[in-house]
Amino acid sequence: MQANETKSKELGASVIAVDYTDNESIVNALEQNKIDTVISTLGPKAGEETEMSLIAAADKSTVTKRYIPSSFGIRSTPE
């Protein structure tokens, strides 16, 4: 059994590995798995570029309708 399958069974949710530097591979993963909603849980070590890559892929995907950003991954101002 592959690591993703094992983790998916353990968590009770699908685990899909993606390369955050390859926008098209993220778009393909979202579309192939019919991911309607992305909930980002990226931490501060992931970096802003990683979060922005995931946002761009979700926007480009024809099946993804919602994106919930990680409050840790995007710089924000007090306003």
> pTM of the predicted model, to two decimals?
0.74
What digits encode the pLDDT tens for the residues 24-51?
999 999 999 999 999 988 877 888 889 8
- Domain segments of the chain: what residues? 19-68
Is residue 1 over pLDDT 60?
no
Contact 50, 42 (CB under 8 A): yes
pLDDT of 2 strictly over 80: no
Dist. CA 39–CA 66, nearest whole Å: 8
Question: What is the pLDDT, as a whole number, of residue 15?
Answer: 79
